Structure 1
Amino acid sequence: MTSCFAALRRRHLLALAGAGWLGAGPARAQAPRPIRLVVPFTPGGSTDILARALAPKLAAALGVNVLVDNKPGAGGSLGASEVAKAAADGNTLLMGHIGTLAVNPAIYPKLGYDPLTSFVPVAYVARVPNVLVVKADAPWKSLKDLVAAARARPGSLTYSSGGNGSAAHIGFEALKLRTQVFMTHIPYRGTAPSVTDVLAGQVDCTFTGSPAVIGHIRSGRLRALAVSSAQRLPSLPDVPTVAESGHAGFEADQWYGLVAPAGTPAALVARLNAEVNKALALPDVAQQLAVEGAVPAPGTPQAFAALIRKEIPRWAEVARAANVKPD
């Protein structure tokens, strides 16, 4: 029994030693290994935008480079699987979100990781409402207009997403189920191209995270019809919620947070959680997230774990009802 305890303690200490940033600060003479922050999607989407907002703040606080590494594929599953198999030493993190941690278990039969056992939650970062947008010169001025057009011509209107099973896809399917309309899904390989084709008029609309579209809304190139949150976004005060638009109780926000490989020592998780919460409280970070339409969500690892557990069955129900399948 003593030898077993000693072995566990040795592994714990080795893990702490491997994460040379523990206890590090800006004045550290010798730089430890960089932290790799994996974004399991292409650049330009909400996950990428939030990771790049957070990375420099963590780097400054921990005295170590934080490198954002885009690893897209299979609805975020490829990047998430890679992190699940990484060493539990605090040097590899995943910017997880609703898709990778709650939706994917329902649509990928061989996922390669279990969101509840393959990771340890580190920090809830932000809540990001989806925004339903159309091209600025589209004929629809409201969600009611779009629903009426879709009902008049079932299947003729199209919506884009960052891929089959993506957060934008599952969010729109929830909206379709609530409004009882049929629209044709056009999946892309990433959020950025899915928005680009709405701008070009190749697709009628999309319902995706606010950071990916809010700049185009402000520039007048996209028209926002509704937001998925329970309350209006402070950054888009004139845009009604889906609930206000005749569908009471509807809410389908995306959410984002850091997770680490299972077995990452509690001391590392606690330090990372503290630094993420501090970063989210910084005025420039709060302002940056507000500009993007994201809502900071500081909290404990336990609170983030509870959110993940709650969301998995909810989105499994939507995926089953909509018969969502991977590529």
Structure 2
Amino acid sequence: MELRQLEYFVAVAEEANFTRAALRVHISQSGISAQIRQLEHDLGAALIDRSTRTARLTAAGEAALVHARATLAAAAGVRDAVDAVNQLVRGRLVVGMVTACTVTGLFDALATFHGAHPGVDVSLLEDNSDHLVERVRSGDIDLALVGTATTPPDGLEAFPIIKERLVAAVPPNHPLIGRTSVTLAELCDHAIVCMPAGTGIRTVFDQACAVSDIRPNIALQASAPDTVADLALRGLGVAILSESMAAGFDELTALVLEDVEIPAVLALVWKSAARPALRELVRHTRRAFAEAEAEAEATQLPALR
């Protein structure tokens, strides 16, 4: 019995599919199948029921899964303990990022971290904020950049990066042009273009509407803020964006949402920074965003004089 076989077994159990499990652990499907068959041979029992399209655990597999996870966790703990003593950083980190995010501070942090610790394998994936938060809680993702209405989300540590209000962005010749603010009730008379459920901005907007017992007319949804803005510019609705997002589109006019007090927050979240590799990555991300903020403030100084 080998640790890699236990890792493959846990992957198949969690994915309920040999193909997805093989992609997750970066080997071929035939390779993962062969290793699990060898594990079953060593244990003298079938762990996976292969009679259907879904890979299901047998009774023996259910019993083995708890111990397989504990064994892998213990092995990782041994490595982390030694790394902590020797001040070495190695292993694998999974980093999540809200879909269509273009915050360069995270990319800068990943670049400097990779340069300092090339022995760490870093994977980057995109998803909506709700899914990312849950995957950080489950341990599937180590660190994630998410949009949220609360900081930190329950059970997680967080480093807020941006906190700003939502706005209603309208194109030229829209009936709301000429105003500086609008209420949620007034928005009900217009089609809305916004980001999908599960994103931080949509969560803030939905919560505010629920408090006021308002049901907005969500005409179109798009994951990327640029797409939301483009749809609004084409006259398909009022875009719900953050202040900084709307500021990137000169043709849109941003109106303050008078009765939305909850800010949209962009934050880094993680469950625990006990692992040396994750602790180092958190340190790099804090420094990268602090430097980016200082640079932004420096560029604004001439205009303030």
- Match runs of 1:240-279 below 5 Å: 242=258, 251-260=261-270, 262=271, 264-265=273-274, 267=276, 270-279=279-288
**Alignment partner of 1:158 is 2:191:** yes
Check whether the contact 1:130–1:254 (CA below 8 A) recurs between aligned residues: yes
2:131: which partner in 1? 78
Using the size of structure 1 for normalisation, the TM-score is 0.52
Instruction: Report the AA paired with residue 77 of structure 1.
Output: D
Aligned counterpart for 1:116 among listed residues 154, 165, 177 = 154
Instruction: Report the AA paired with residue 258 of structure 1.
Output: L
Structure 1 residue 38: Cα displacement? 0.9
Q: Tell me how far apart the structure 2 counterparts of residues 289 and 132 of structure 1 sit (CA, whole Å).
A: 26
Aligned counterpart for 1:169 among listed residues 177, 180, 202 = 202
Check whether the contact 1:168–1:206 (CA below 8 A) recurs between aligned residues: no
Aligned counterpart for 1:225 among listed residues 240, 255, 258 = 255
Query: Do the aligned partners of residues 254 and 16 (structure 1) sit closer, same or farther apart at CA in structure 2, a change above 3 Å counting?
Result: farther
Q: Tell me how far apart the structure 2 counterparts of residues 85 and 176 of structure 1 sit (CA, whole Å).
A: 30
Check whether the contact 2:151–2:267 (CA below 8 A) recurs between aligned residues: no
Structure 2's unaligned 5+ residue stretches are 1-71, 300-305
Check whether the contact 2:96–2:127 (CA below 8 A) recurs between aligned residues: yes
Check whether the contact 1:123–1:273 (CA below 8 A) recurs between aligned residues: no
**Alignment partner of 1:132 is 2:165:** no
Structure 1 residue 289: Cα displacement? 9.2
Structure 1 residue 67: Cα displacement? 5.0
CA RMSD of aligned residues (A): 4.1
Counterpart secondary structure, 2:248: helix
Query: Do the aligned partners of residues 184 and 287 (structure 1) sit closer, same or farther apart at CA in structure 2, a change above 3 Å counting?
Result: farther
Structure 1 residue 266: Cα displacement? 6.1
Aligned counterpart for 1:214 among listed residues 234, 237, 247 = 247
1:322: which partner in 2? none
Cα-to-partner distance string for 1:191-224 (whole Å, 9 max, x where unaligned): 4332221111111x123223433210xxx21011
Q: Which has the higher contact order (CA 8 A, sep 6+)?
A: 1
Structure 1 residue 171: Cα displacement? 2.9
Instruction: Report the AA paired with residue 197 of structure 1.
Output: L
Query: Do the aligned partners of residues 258 and 168 (structure 1) sit closer, same or farther apart at CA in structure 2, a change above 3 Å counting?
Result: closer
Structure 1 residue 158: Cα displacement? 1.7
Check whether the contact 2:146–2:266 (CA below 8 A) recurs between aligned residues: yes
Cα-to-partner distance string for 1:162-217 (whole Å, 9 max, x where unaligned): 113533334334555688866412351414332221111111x123223433210x
Query: Do the aligned partners of residues 147 and 125 (structure 1) sit closer, same or farther apart at CA in structure 2, a change above 3 Å counting?
Result: closer
Cα-to-partner distance string for 1:108-136 (whole Å, 9 max, x where unaligned): xxxxxxx534xx42533332432321113
Query: Radius of gyration: which is bigger?
Result: 2
Cα-to-partner distance string for 1:264-297 (whole Å, 9 max, x where unaligned): 5165554344333322221x45446999xxxxxx
Q: Tell me how far apart the structure 1 counterparts of residues 75 and 198 of structure 2 sit (CA, whole Å).
A: 41
Using the size of structure 2 for normalisation, the TM-score is 0.55
Instruction: Report the AA paired with residue 129 of structure 1.
Output: R
Counterpart secondary structure, 1:139: coil
Aligned counterpart for 1:200 among listed residues 229, 234, 238 = 234
Structure 1 residue 98: Cα displacement? 0.9
1:321: which partner in 2? none
Counterpart secondary structure, 2:163: strand
Cα-to-partner distance string for 1:53-108 (whole Å, 9 max, x where unaligned): 32223431443475542134xxx333444444446xxx832113315978xxxxxx
Query: Do the aligned partners of residues 16 and 95 (structure 1) sit closer, same or farther apart at CA in structure 2, a change above 3 Å counting?
Result: farther
Query: Do the aligned partners of residues 93 and 9 (structure 1) sit closer, same or farther apart at CA in structure 2, a change above 3 Å counting?
Result: same
Cα-to-partner distance string for 1:138-180 (whole Å, 9 max, x where unaligned): 2322255x449x65xx843122221135333343345556888
Q: Tell me how far apart the structure 1 counterparts of residues 158 and 205 of structure 2 sit (CA, whole Å).
A: 28
Q: Tell me how far apart the structure 1 counterparts of residues 88 and 165 of structure 2 sit (CA, whole Å).
A: 35
Counterpart secondary structure, 1:49: coil
Aligned counterpart for 1:14 among listed residues 79, 87, 92 = 79
Q: Tell me how far apart the structure 1 counterparts of residues 233 and 297 of structure 2 sit (CA, whole Å).
A: 23
Q: Tell me how far apart the structure 1 counterparts of residues 297 and 208 of structure 2 sit (CA, whole Å).
A: 25
Percent of aligned pairs sharing the same letter: 14
Instruction: Report the AA paired with residue 54 of structure 1.
Output: L
Q: Tell me how far apart the structure 1 counterparts of residues 220 and 81 of structure 2 sit (CA, whole Å).
A: 42
> How many pairs does the alignment contain?
220
Check whether the contact 1:36–1:67 (CA below 8 A) recurs between aligned residues: yes
